[in-house]
Chains A and B, each alone.
Chain A
């Protein structure tokens, strides 16, 4: 995983690595949309195209053993924390090789072996869990940090407030990262929230400072999370980061997102996190061809992942009755 020691000091090589991760996520999301429309992906999807810099920038600033909790819009976090596009695509296509054995689906991508502890589909539920993981790290003295990523919509539900208060009172090493994409499902967050900055403006109620950052700039996200993680490891308690970003697709499935003004969409599309990273790379002297090579490598990786996932066997029906209990069984009676 890419790491730099000081804010603002990502080298060209490091930034190029992050660019590649973002390109892989972008390609994966595009592939998922195509596979959904072609009937390969059942149920629903919540694509994170447009949010890549939040996941990749944050992940790069974390230790490998830090804990990450995400939402149903979590493909980018799973991949940023080590799940492969192939096992994610296989999961979405109901294959036996899926990262959750096809028992989770798009909304529950999880990669526990790399401490990505799940994607949760009930708004706000995972913020207390992240606080609990941070509490556990504190008690075990491991200096691990836990991060909860959540949407702007989550700031209006109880567990957000309970988690921030508990984390503040117990001085937990947890970072709350709001991916503010300006909308909940179809409703602008501003029209249902009493303060302009849904996460950051609430932080002060819990004695915390809320930082508002450009969530489309991977360097900026990296810096903010690096600082927050340092504070957490130093015993200085939780942080609230509100990363402003925008989704490129609709809320889910085939939502055309017609409720968003055209000028707003155009403005944010011009600030695509991949474009911003490309600009930074160019400024650092990286040649356009080199970035293009990385782009085509990402495209190639994802296209191979799609083929492999398609070729994988369907989920095994016997799996439906396993994994309820820790002994692997689903037995509930004698």
Chain B
């Protein structure tokens, strides 16, 4: 992956999750964690390593396998003075607590006329690429994207994990924090002290003039790898890492298009109902005159995720598929 820093001091995306949470727990005694196997066992993905040891059982709570109780209790605690950080082990399991995530948490502030706030974070391991099969591999960021009232973070680098975790935990609004399973082992520069990345601020991951690739989480390294390849062919692709879906930083996307005039959206959720559809529709509405070519979307195929690597590669956007699509778009 092009986004990997291998120099001294590089840290993994995985350890940055625990680091981001720990920094906030040190800063704010109202931050508490709950989830399955997150305490002494330090998480099935080892994303809570060290938290139980440092903060103890009154701040880091192991729960039963009760997704509705986990997210529902986080909601009740958030309404009453705590800042809970709830872990849902795999994002597929969000379906088990979708009632709370889609119908309770994002609505309660609105339907009470602003009487209550719900400052919570639901963290979850999202996406494919590791061969976990159809029920443990979905990229479901678009599920959350359909629900007004949820903020959505999906970092692509270790430093962003820390900086966006700080913003998510400090947010007075509910945040769904998608940690990408395929990125856990990736490395990057560590976050500086007090690193805070505001939600809703996209990042230009690579500058370019010929076209704009809009990416999120796992598709950022994919897009960067494609851009690197294409540079050798004389195509200069800009890569925008959206970082969060809500708030959605369309200003950065539209500003990039002012220079490149060509847009490709690279998303891991299925084409059908994927977030790229909304990005495309805003650009069609507000950036039509900026465009010299049709908007293209490279998304996952509209099938459940298959198990075998060779099959999974047919479904999820790969560097090859993105590279091919960019070539066609550049020559349009």
Contact = CB atoms under 8 A, between A and B. Distances in A.
A216 B314 CA distance: 64
A333 B81 CA distance: 28
Instruction: Identify the 5 closest CB pairs spanning chains A and B, nearest first.
Output: A128-B72, A132-B76, A132-B73, A326-B172, A101-B113
21 contacts: A67-B76, A98-B113, A110-B112, A111-B115, A113-B115, A118-B116, A122-B99, A125-B99, A128-B70, A128-B100, A130-B76, A132-B74, A132-B78, A134-B76, A136-B76, A139-B58, A162-B69, A166-B63, A323-B110, A325-B172, A334-B251
B323 interface: no
B114 A322 contact: yes
Contacts of B172: 325-327
Interface string A123-162: 0011111111111110110000010000000000011001
Interface of A: 67, 69, 98-104, 108, 110-113, 117-118, 120, 122, 125-137, 139-140, 146, 158-159, 162-163, 165-166, 169-170, 319, 322-328, 330-334
A67 B72 contact: no
Contacts of B115: 100, 110-113
Nearest to A326: B172
Contacts of B116: 110, 112, 117-118
Contacts of B117: 326
B82 A139 contact: yes
A159 B99 CA distance: 10
Nearest to A148: B76
Given A103-B111, A333-B248, A162 B68 contact: yes
B109 A163 contact: no
A318 B261 CA distance: 37
B200 interface: yes
B110 A135 contact: no
A202 to B, nearest CB: 15
B79 interface: yes
Contacts of B282: 333
B10 interface: no
B113 A120 contact: no
B86 to A, nearest CB: 10
Contacts of A332: 148, 246-248
Contacts of A326: 109, 117, 119, 171-173
B88 interface: no
Given A128-B69, A328-B114, 15 more contacts: A101-B114, A112-B116, A117-B116, A122-B104, A128-B76, A129-B76, A132-B80, A136-B77, A324-B148, A325-B172, A326-B119, A327-B172, A330-B148, A332-B247, A334-B248
Contact of A159 (B68, B82, B119): B68
A118 B75 CA distance: 12
Contacts of B82: 135-136, 139-140
A289 B74 CA distance: 50
A165 B64 contact: yes
B35 interface: no
Contacts of B80: 67, 117, 132-133, 136-137
B319 to A, nearest CB: 29
B72 A163 contact: yes
A117 B250 CA distance: 36
A89 to B, nearest CB: 15
B69 A103 contact: no
Contacts of B68: 125, 128, 158-159, 162
Nearest to A113: B115
Q: Counting chain B CB atoms within 10 Å of each CB, which of A108, A128, A319 scores highest? A: A128
Nearest to A323: B114
B244 to A, nearest CB: 10
A322 B115 CA distance: 12
A103 B248 CA distance: 25
Nearest to B149: A324
Q: Counting chain A CB atoms within 10 Å of each CB, which of B78, B110, B252 scores highest? A: B110
A324 B109 contact: yes
A226 B251 CA distance: 57
Contacts of A101: 113-114
Contacts of B258: none
Given A67-B80, A129-B104, A103 B73 contact: no
B77 A127 contact: no
Given A128-B69, A333-B249, A136 B81 contact: yes
Contacts of A165: 64, 66, 69
Contacts of A325: 109, 172-173
Contacts of A137: 80
A327 B119 CA distance: 12
Given A159-B68, A165-B64, A323-B114, A133 B76 contact: yes
Contacts of B84: 132
A325 B173 CA distance: 6
Contacts of A170: 61
Contact of B72 (A108, A111, A112, A125): A125
A108 B74 CA distance: 20
Contacts of A102: 113
Contacts of B100: 125, 128
Given A323-B110, A324-B109, A334 B72 contact: no
A131 B73 contact: yes
A103 B58 CA distance: 37
Given A139-B58, A333-B250, A133 B64 contact: no
Interface string B215-250: 000000000000000000000000000000011111
A145 B251 CA distance: 47
